[in-house]
């Protein structure tokens, strides 16, 4: 007799069909159990205790951390459970800054939503927390610890999905907080600005840093000509902010809205995505045919580029030298539009509408400006554009449609699919296959690089030339592939990397949603746009050909405008942590690197030994011991700097000898080594 894999939820029988836990079975039954800390893409945490249910014979348990078992009799809405959920919310609200009307997550906050939904109209508990400073140091993300509910979503996202761990829990008991490493600001640690922490944050503790006011000021400045570019992923997500279904294409309405807001010209980032394809494909073919710097990694994603700079400097020569489509657009626009629009370059303002928070950081990189004028002046997220449209009082749903301005508004389907994971590879293949085969291709769909898997791979053979490709999204997966390349464990030719799950369509600047299938809807819409366009290959874009003929007239100009290079980047800021009680000026500084490479080679034990010896020899008045974060000598750690002298593969004997030497040189008390 077959086992009956069913259980009872509020008196009704439901089948168990491979769900990870009881919560998923309950939600499949059409009951939306409230949660803060549960995400299908993250590990089960069980911190918020809102998903409690009553199981007959067991009592009250968290449904997210309880496996579903046959025969269970589950109650989801008893008086006791309702009261416990209310008390939990009241406790959270008591220690939560309640400036909801001015919060960036207002109307999209889970705490706000659940308080209303569960009927919490009074907070009976007194607050105990002390206000903490807001971290506005990052160009991409604002961190407000006063609004954190300690759900851990951001911590698990950064560690599990992105493989970084730039934020984590600190302290214990009632003092526990979520902080960047060593209590530093986000801009001082290894954060790559992807913003995925803000995407999953249920409150206003992590939000997208806004440039709305800056852009309004430029739009109201009569001396400025303000142009805007729209990334592919924006057009399949913006409508969600106005109640439209996920993935609905709103390109025409978006253009109309931007012109009504006051932008002088509206262009398409897909145009320079086409340009990126042409440059990146030719770069790849040159590398492939010469057997140099393979595999070639894509460089369109600024979060991935910063990740590579921090963690894999030895692979930077493998990154494509192509700028991202955003930065190519800025460079080309600042080069050609002053003449085309009869204005001075300094009066031209370029604004980007992006699904990505890391683009805000990218626009500020020093290599992307000329004489202090950046190629891209401001970057707005999809969320920010939606807020501007609402602020202007525009009825987005009822807007008529308009078209992009030329020439920087014409694109092919290859430029549009850039917004989805696998889109860059497919667009490059549409050019590379033609070049290698010498024949025009009619079949432009390369389905093997599509899909939602975190790591996809495929290979092609064209005219006896084999090409092996990997497509990766999320940085934890990128780390796996980068380690394989570093260790010689793979033979890929081209590797596409997107930091955000699903690619740009899942960027942190997109409208917030906790629906699992939303990225699939957005992705499919991009492929539908490709199908509906007349041209599907970047090399067939006539305005790209005209650009090469009139603007990119020689290799030097092309390289200056469209290419760049990247360098090793420290993961932590230079100002280290002092371990001395008194850090007066004039002391001899001993800096011990506590970066990952040195830590694994015993830097923490060495630090403790140095401090102990300094204290034992009564030299704390003359020597200050500090923790530093990277001297960029990771292969030769542990690394210690005494004064200005750097010691690689350092030992206690070596560092004490150098301290003794330098103290003697300054005629102070010496320490015996």
Boundaries of every domain in the chain: 6-77, 88-208, 212-562, 577-665
Q: 3-class DSSP state for residue 108?
A: coil
Which of 53, 62, 52, 44 lies closest to 8, judged by CA? 53
Fold of 88-208: Alpha-Beta Plaits (3.30.70)
pLDDT at 18: 85
In whole angstroms, give the CA distance from residue 173 to residue 276.
Answer: 51
**Annotated catalytic residue 624:** no
**Annotated catalytic residue 105:** no
**Which of 97, 283, 309, 496 is labelled catalytic?**
283
pLDDT at 1 over 50: no
In whole angstroms, give the CA distance from residue 314 to residue 18.
Answer: 43
**Which of 280, 384, 426, 496 is labelled catalytic?**
280
In whole angstroms, give the CA distance from residue 387 to residue 298.
Answer: 32
Fold of 212-562: Rossmann fold (3.40.50)
pLDDT at 578: 58
**Annotated catalytic residue 504:** yes
- pLDDT tens digits, one per residue of 88-133: 888 888 888 877 888 888 778 888 888 888 888 888 888 887 889 9
**Which of 240, 279, 309, 362 is labelled catalytic?**
362
**Which of 292, 367, 391, 453 is labelled catalytic?**
367
Alpha-carbon distances of 269 from 205, 329, 336, 419, 532, rounded to whole Å? 31, 7, 16, 10, 18
Fold of 577-665: Glutaredoxin (3.40.30)
Q: How confident is the model at residue 576 (pLDDT cuts 50, 70, 90)?
A: low
The encoded tokens of residue 550 equal: 């009139």
First to last CA, the chain: 79
8-state DSSP, 225: E
Mean pLDDT, rounded, for 347-365: 96
pLDDT at 471 over 90: yes
pLDDT at 321: 95
**Which of 137, 270, 320, 352 is labelled catalytic?**
320
**Which of 359, 360, 456, 537 is labelled catalytic?**
359
pLDDT at 581: 53
The verdict on domain 6-77 having CATH code 3.90.1170.40 is: no
Mean pLDDT, rounded, for 260-280: 96
**Annotated catalytic residue 187:** no
pLDDT at 166: 92
pLDDT at 383 over 80: yes
**Which of 154, 158, 300, 301 is labelled catalytic?**
300
**Long-range Cβ pairs for the range 25-34 (8 Å, 24+):** 25/68, 26/53, 26/63, 26/74, 26/76, 31/76, 33/63, 33/76, 34/85, 34/114, 34/117, 34/118
pLDDT at 671 over 50: no
**Annotated catalytic residue 367:** yes
**Distance from CA of residue 19 to its chain's centroid?**
29
Residues 6+ positions from 90 with CB-CB distance below 8 Å:
120, 122, 123, 124, 125
- pLDDT tens digits, one per residue of 286-299: 998 898 899 999 99
- pLDDT tens digits, one per residue of 504-537: 999 999 998 777 788 999 999 999 999 999 999 9
Q: How confident is the model at residue 579 (pLDDT cuts 50, 70, 90)?
A: low
**Annotated catalytic residue 283:** yes
Give 2-56 as a DSSP string.
----EEEETTEEEE--S-SSHHHHHHHTT-----SS--TTS-----S--SEEEET
**Annotated catalytic residue 489:** no
Which of 303, 304, 189 lies closest to 571, judged by CA? 189
pLDDT at 644: 85
């Amino acid at each position: 007799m077959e086992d009956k894999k069913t259980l009872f939820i509020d008196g009704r029988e439901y089948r168990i069909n491979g769900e990870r836990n009881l919560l998923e079975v309950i939600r499949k039954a059409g009951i939306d159990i409230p949660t803060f800390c549960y995400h299908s893409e993250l590990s089960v945490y069980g911190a918020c205790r809102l998903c409690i249910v009553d199981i007959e014979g067991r009592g009250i348990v968290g449904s997210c951390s309880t496996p579903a078992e046959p025969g269970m009799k589950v109650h989801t809405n008893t008086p006791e459970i309702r009261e416990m959920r209310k008390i939990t919310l009241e406790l959270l609200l008591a220690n939560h800054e309640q400036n909801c009307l001015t919060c960036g997550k207002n109307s999209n906050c889970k705490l706000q939503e659940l308080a209303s939904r569960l009927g919490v109209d009074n907070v009976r508990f007194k607050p105990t927390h002390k206000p903490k400073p807001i971290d506005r140091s990052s160009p991409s993300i604002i961190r407000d610890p006063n609004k954190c509910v300690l759900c851990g979503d951001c911590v698990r996202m950064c560690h599990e999905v992105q493989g970084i761990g730039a934020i984590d829990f600190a302290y214990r008991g009632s003092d526990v907080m979520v902080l960047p490493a060593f209590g530093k600001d986000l801009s001082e640690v290894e954060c790559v600005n992807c913003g995925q922490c803000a995407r999953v944050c249920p409150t206003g503790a992590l939000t997208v840093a806004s440039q709305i006011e800056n852009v309004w000021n430029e739009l109201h400045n009569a001396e400025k000509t303000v142009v805007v570019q729209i990334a592919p992923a924006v057009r399949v997500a913006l409508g969600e902010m106005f109640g439209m279904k996920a993935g609905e294409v709103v390109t025409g309405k978006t253009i109309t809205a931007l012109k009504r807001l006051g932008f002088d010209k509206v262009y398409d980032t897909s145009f320079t995505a086409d340009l990126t394809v042409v440059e990146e494909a030719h770069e790849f073919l040159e590398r492939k045919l010469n057997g140099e710097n393979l595999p070639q990694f894509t460089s369109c994603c600024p979060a991935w580029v910063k990740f590579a700079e921090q963690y894999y400097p030895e692979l930077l020569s493998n990154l494509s030298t192509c700028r991202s489509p955003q930065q190519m657009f800025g460079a080309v626009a600042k080069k050609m539009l002053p003449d085309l629009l009869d204005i001075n370059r300094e009066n031209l303002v370029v604004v980007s509408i992006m699904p990505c928070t890391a683009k805000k950081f990218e626009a500020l990189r020093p290599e992307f400006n000329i004489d202090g004028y950046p190629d891209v002046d401001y970057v707005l997220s999809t969320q920010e554009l939606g807020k501007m449209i609402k602020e202007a009082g525009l009825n987005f749903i009822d807007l008529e449609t308009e078209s992009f301005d030329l020439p920087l508004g014409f694109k092919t389907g290859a430029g549009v699919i850039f917004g989805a994971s696998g889109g860059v590879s497919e667009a490059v293949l549409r050019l590379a296959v033609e070049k290698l085969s010498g024949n025009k291709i009619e079949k432009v769909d390369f389905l093997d690089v599509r899909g939602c898997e975190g790591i996809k791979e495929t290979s092609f053979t064209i005219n006896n030339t084999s090409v092996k490709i990997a497509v990766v999204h999320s940085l934890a997966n990128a780390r796996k592939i980068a380690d394989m390349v570093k260790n010689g464990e793979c033979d890929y030719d081209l590797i596409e990397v997107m930091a955000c799950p699903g690619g740009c369509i899942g960027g942190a600047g997109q409208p917030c949603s906790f629906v699992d299938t939303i990225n699939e809807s957005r992705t499919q819409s991009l492929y539908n746009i490709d199908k509906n366009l007349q041209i599907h290959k970047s090399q067939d874009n006539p305005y790209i050909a005209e650009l090469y003929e009139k603007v990119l007239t020689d290799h030097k100009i092309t390289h200056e405008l469209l290419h760049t290079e990247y360098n090793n980047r420290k993961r932590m800021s230079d100002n280290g942590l002092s371990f001395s009680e008194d850090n007066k000026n004039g002391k001899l500084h001993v800096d011990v690197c506590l970066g990952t490479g040195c830590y694994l080679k015993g830097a923490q034990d060495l630090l403790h030994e140095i401090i102990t010896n300094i204290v034992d020899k009564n030299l704390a008045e003359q020597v200050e011991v500090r923790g530093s974060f990277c001297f960029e000598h990771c292969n030769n750690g542990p690394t210690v700097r005494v004064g200005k002298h750097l010691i690689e593969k350092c030992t206690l004997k070596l560092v004490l000898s150098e301290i003794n030497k330098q103290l003697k040189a300054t005629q102070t008390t010496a320490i015996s080594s």
